[in-house]
Amino acid sequence: MHQQKPRIEERTQMLARARLRGSGPERDACVVNVSSRGLAVTADNPPRRGEIVEVVVGDNRLVGEVKWSDVRRFGMILRERISVISLISGDSAGVTLKRKEALRREKARAAADRSSIARKFQFVVFAAAGAVATIVAAEFVSDGLQSLNKAKAAMAGQPVVQVKSRSR
């Protein structure tokens, strides 16, 4: 008696129209259950064990190796892990987890780029504000020193020279 290995993860039941490509003509098929690592499919004239086939569900192309086959059904292990939820919901952005991870990384990179630009802009604004504050402080100190020089000259009995104030 043939004993089946325990499954790594449970299969999710579903019914989805598909196209089967592999040896022989392209034909209609139906995905009956799915996990992140494999599919069970019904089709007329299913492929034999060991064949590499492509099952197209909506816009998603799932490639894998046939692990078992009988009169109308076959099971296949996928080359890449997939998101079961994305396949069931008909997500056209891709169901392979590598592609989803790449999209996630791309979005994170774009967000980091936007954040980097914002930080650079913030630095420029703070640098400009610092420069303006430095100029204002220098003017204030300059005016204060002029007043002190006038007071010092007056106390020493020297004539006080009037300096024209800058127009503001």
Whether residues 43 and 109 fall in one domain? no
| pLDDT for the residue numbered 1 | 47
CB 34 within 8 A of CB 11: yes
| DSSP for the chain, written as a single string | -PPPPPPSS--EEEEEEEEEESSSS-EEEEEEEE-SSEEEEEESSPPPTT-EEEEEETTEEEEEEEEEE-SSEEEEEESS-B-HHHHHHT-TT--BHHHHHHHHHHHHHHHHHHHHHHHHHHHHHHHHHHHHHHHHHHHHHHHHHHHHHHHHHHHTTPPPPPPPPPP-
| pLDDT for the residue numbered 47 | 94
Number of domains in the chain: 2
| pLDDT for the residue numbered 108 | 73
148 is a domain residue: yes
Whether residues 42 and 79 fall in one domain? yes
pLDDT tens column, 12-61: 899 999 999 987 899 999 999 999 899 999 999 999 999 999 999 988 88
Domain that holds residue 62: 12-95
Whether residues 28 and 84 fall in one domain? yes
| pLDDT for the residue numbered 2 | 53
Whether residues 70 and 125 fall in one domain? no
Whether residues 84 and 121 fall in one domain? no
Whether residues 85 and 142 fall in one domain? no
pLDDT tens column, 94-147: 666 566 666 667 777 777 777 778 888 888 999 999 999 999 988 888 888 888
Who has greater pLDDT, 25 or 162?
25
Enter the pTM of the model.
0.54
Q: How confident is the model at residue 87 (pLDDT cuts 50, 70, 90)?
A: confident
Whether residues 22 and 84 fall in one domain? yes
